[in-house]
Structure 1
């Protein structure tokens, strides 16, 4: 664990390359099959390496270590454990950044499957999964599928009294615009504006900006 402390020190000094070298040494020491402590050390080292390589913009390496974390968790806890779903999302996000959208889609689908086993359909986890899946489909220009997942995310937020931010409705409006469904886009933008007013107040300067933007439709 002293390796990890040293890596944290280097990270706090923004000396990420040195932190990476220390963490790579740390994962050579533990032997996964020697017990849970070794598995935890290996998990922690690989997770930190994934984060550090992401900061450095080395996405292939980041994905490699997030994938190692995922496989360690599956071996330790089974492939339907809730902790595996969280790592699925990390790995999916890294694949999105690397423009590996098919792999990101598969991982998002796995995260949704696991969360459906463990969480309510209106949970924060479910919302995050649908929003990420929508992002993947937007990147693949599959706007109908993206819209489906954003609507599901909105429904989950409403059911769980989370509908207090406008970002999701703005994304829905943008997709309707991409599909040339302008009446529906206007409705989504107006809904977003109503939420934004309720949070910021109708006299907030940014409310006027949004009114000008949405009125262009």
Structure 2
């Protein structure tokens, strides 16, 4: 009959070592700070030493986007730890603030309110948006993967909602086009698109993490 100690040794031989992860608050601040640093560096490079940098005329329209960023990033990191259930009102908040952001832009679009800045097409917006989104989303995925996430679809949605909104905020200070139609089509819709894409990416990226817990 196999001794208990031998059995335990055999069962534990193939176990992966436990990795210590940062507390939620540390990981959250680390991602927010590093993402802001990436955006500032990119804007500095793209704006030719800030000659193109500008403060958006309708700065209040960015407040809902900023709240989407903060809440989505927290949701992703908080629920990535097994046993931490999603907080219902925080789960609904990002969608609510995204809708509010869209409503503010649509109100300005239908009322015809415009700024004094010329409304020309800025064809590099999508490129800048994606280039800013890539490192911030990868960074948050790396943080989440170390925590054995269980709710793959929700976490994928929150990751890409947070990173896409971060990119949209950076784009607001880089793109001089304040037309509501431009902001809706080129700044807001990519956030919606990447958020929905994040559901599929979450299933693809985190399936191994989920399987390894069983």
**Do the structures match in fold with TM over 0.5?**
no
Tell me which interval the TM-score lies in, with the shorter structure as reference length: under 0.3
Structure with greater helix share of residues:
1
Q: State the TM-score, normalized to the length of structure 1.
A: 0.23
TM-score normalised to structure 2 length: 0.23
Higher relative contact order (CA 8 A, sep 6+): 2
